[in-house]
């Protein structure tokens, strides 16, 4: 019960403090911009800081592999852990991404918590077949 209040309060706070960028066009552009900054900072944790490493190669999946077995075979390709500095920057950018997502929800008269609940139900219903 508390979690839905947190989502609603966050969404309400965004509505109250958003002065500029109230146009759908502005919000879509800002949403893309913050997502790009988040992605760039994740990349910089590999290329500039080095706290993360990417070790990727062609996936070798046996032909008769089930979806359940795929879960065990596939990797994130990430090695290492975010340092405190990179973690702080990426969390900041993820927060900004959530801010603009909430702003878009407000403009479109959608509720973030309701969307989350619907997606959770879909994920549970379809399980591994959801994104296959």
Q: Does residue 130 belong to any structural domain of this protein?
A: no
Q: Which of 96, 77, 82 is nearest to 38 (CA)?
A: 96
Task: Give the Cα separation of 19 and 25 in Å (integer).
Answer: 14
What are the structure tokens assigned to 22, written together? Answer: 């109230």
As for how many domains the chain has, the answer is 1
Q: What confidence score (pLDDT) does residue 94 get?
A: 96
Query: SS3 for 80?
Result: strand
Q: Does residue 31 belong to any structural domain of this protein?
A: yes
* Boundaries of domain holding 86: 22-99
Q: What confidence score (pLDDT) does residue 102 get?
A: 94
pLDDT, tens only, 47-98 = 999 999 999 888 888 888 877 787 777 888 899 999 999 999 999 999 999 9
Q: Does residue 131 belong to any structural domain of this protein?
A: no
Q: Does residue 3 belong to any structural domain of this protein?
A: no
Q: What confidence score (pLDDT) does residue 58 get?
A: 83
Burial 92-111 (b: 16+ CB within 10 A, else e): ebeebbebbbbbbbbbeeeb
Residue 3 pLDDT greater than 70, yes or no: no
pLDDT, tens only, 11-30 = 999 999 887 767 899 999 99
Q: Are 37 and 92 in contact (CB under 8 A)?
A: no
Q: What confidence score (pLDDT) does residue 115 get?
A: 94
pLDDT, tens only, 93-123 = 999 999 999 999 999 999 999 999 999 898 8
Q: What confidence score (pLDDT) does residue 82 get?
A: 97
């Amino acid at each position: 019960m508390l979690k839905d209040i947190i989502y609603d309060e966050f969404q309400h706070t965004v509505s109250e403090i958003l002065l500029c960028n109230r146009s759908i066009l502005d919000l879509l552009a800002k949403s893309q911009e913050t997502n790009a900054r988040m992605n760039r900072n994740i990349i910089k944790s590999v290329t500039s800081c080095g706290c993360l490493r990417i070790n990727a190669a062609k996936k070798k999946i046996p032909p008769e592999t089930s979806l359940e077995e795929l879960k065990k075979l596939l990797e994130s390709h990430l090695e290492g852990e975010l340092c405190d500095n990179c973690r702080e920057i990426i969390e900041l950018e993820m927060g900004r991404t959530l801010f603009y997502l909430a702003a878009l929800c407000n403009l479109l008269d959608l509720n973030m918590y309701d969307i989350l609940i619907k997606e959770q139900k879909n994920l549970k219903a379809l399980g591994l077949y959801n994104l296959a």
